[in-house]
Amino acid sequence: MQRVSHEKISISDERLHGLTIPHAENNSKVPVYVMLPLDTVDYGGRLKKPKAMNASLMALKSAGVKGVMVDAWWGLVEKDGPLKYNWEGYAELVRMVENNGLKLQVVMSFHQCSGNVGDSCRIPLPPLVLEEISKNPDLVYTDRSGRRNPEYISLGCDSIPVLRWRTPIQAYTDYMRSFRDRFGDYLGRVIVEIQVGMGPCGELRYPSYPESNGTWRFPGIGEFSAMTRSMLLNVETQYMRASLEAAALTMEKKEWGKSGPRGTPRTFHGTGTKLSGKIAGIHWHYNTRSHAADLTAGYYNTRHRDGYLPIARMLSKHGVVFNFTCMEMRDCDQPHHANCSPEGLVRQVKMVTKTARVKLAGENALERYDGGAYAQILATSRSDSGNGLSAFTYLRMNKRLFEGDNWRHLVEFVKNMSEGGRKVSDSDTRGTNLYIGFIREKNVEKMEAALA
């Protein structure tokens, strides 16, 4: 993914408005967002259980949460045919978020929902894409055993008109332009961030560790997405090879034959909305020399080579926020045989984002409700070593989140983050009971109905 040039990697030309990126100061306030359920909008394009959703948003607002994040699924919005977009369920959600005084982060989810950690529902790619894949399976990634991965269209097809008259990049651009046109009045005001999906799970990576059908189990190093028997290149059939060869010739490096993603137009330029990209937190085998799990996913990161700095510099160049996960994980909680170091990986990312002068935002990788996880996030959010966090998005809103102790922990965590990581006093801790009482007395039945 990164061998063509450390400095010329590019996934997007979506420059917003020439952001100047200040370093986060130590103990600065960090806004907290909460991810909504994956199926917030159902397959019919309707907002699920809107009354209960409204009650949940009211509770989150009372807890001091800045806003929420929602996936805008390509497979839902454009399922009725090319250029036929149904945003109505999302429009209802945007209005509801605004009415509750919250902000919204929207993920342009160009991947399939199914087969990965936390996927609680199945949302396929649009029917048009599935139809073309059935005609030509080479449109998706394939491992050395010939297993196809239908999560995401291969990067090798990005600039080839494989979706009837459109290339995938054109289809993604049309989708984002439609979103911009539909929600223009809310951009920069209610909708404050657009996270552009760039691969499986929305992350900039190859599908090296799919969990569906038992293909991969933690802590396996994963598989290269490749058809070349040598397995030296992360290459994808005829389309990937053609794309890579052309890029290599352009760079006057014919022998390389590798490339990264390609650019997209400035769809959200001038809207006042931040743009972000998500990088995978592959922390297993981090304590080995080769970092093999990084390599199969496309990150050329080893003990002696920093694979994340070129990505950080590229994102910085375009004013894009570097979004990273596994912020809640501690080394001591990981199995010894997996050679994990989530803390080491996060430290590396904090340093490279500081060096590249790019904003760093964070997420937790797994659902956690305990004080230990929140304490780790608080420690990570500070800029004692490297970049501090500009924002944090908590995974995820569900029924368990609103249970007594879980809710109390969240409220205290949000308050801590808003006060620069200061420990909440006893009186502050007792004060969270007001929120618990609010939920129990007014909204718990509605929220449980929505989130059951």
* CA angle (37 as vertex; 34, 43 as ends), nearest 5: 145
Task: In whole angstroms, give the CA distance from residue 352 to residue 253.
Answer: 27
Confirm whether 363 is a catalytic residue: yes
Q: Write out the H or E segment, with its range, that includes residue 109.
A: strand 103-109
User: Which residues are documented as binding site?
Assistant: 71, 111, 119, 278, 283, 325, 364-365, 396
Cα 142 to its chain centre, rounded Å, is 23
Number of C-beta neighbours around residue 263 at 10 A: 14
In the numeric block, the tokens 């802590």 are attached to 219
Q: What tokens does 437 get?
A: 């009482």
Burial class for 61, CB neighbours closer than 10 Å (0-12, 13-18, 19+)? middle
DSSP per residue, 140-183 = EEEBTT--EEEEEE-GGGTTS--BTTB-HHHHHHHHHHHHHHHS
The residues with which 361 forms a beta bridge, in sequence order, are 323, 391
Going from the C-alpha of 319 to that of each of 20, 174, 315, the distances in angstroms are 8, 22, 6
Residues 6+ apart with CB under 8 A from 301: 291, 294, 295, 307, 308
- Cβ(259)–Cβ(4) under 8 Å? yes
The residues with which 108 forms a beta bridge, in sequence order, are 72, 196
Task: In whole angstroms, give the CA distance from residue 183 to residue 217.
Answer: 40
Q: Is 19 helix (H, G, I), strand (E, B) or coil?
A: coil
219 prior amide bond cis, ω within 30: yes
- Cβ(86)–Cβ(45) under 8 Å? yes
CA-nearest of 28, 109, 24, 32 to 393 is: 32
Cα 388 to its chain centre, rounded Å, is 18
Task: In whole angstroms, give the CA distance from residue 143 to residue 198.
Answer: 19
Choosing from 78, 151, 363, 412, which is the catalytic residue?
A: 363
DSSP state, 41? B
Choosing from 203, 223, 343, 412, which is the catalytic residue?
A: 203
User: Which residues are documented as binding site for substrate?
Assistant: 71, 111, 119, 278, 283, 325, 364-365, 396
Going from the C-alpha of 87 to that of each of 100, 131, 210, 449, the distances in angstroms are 20, 23, 30, 24
DSSP state, 31? -
- Cβ(390)–Cβ(21) under 8 Å? no
Query: Which amino acids are annotated catalytic?
Result: 203, 363
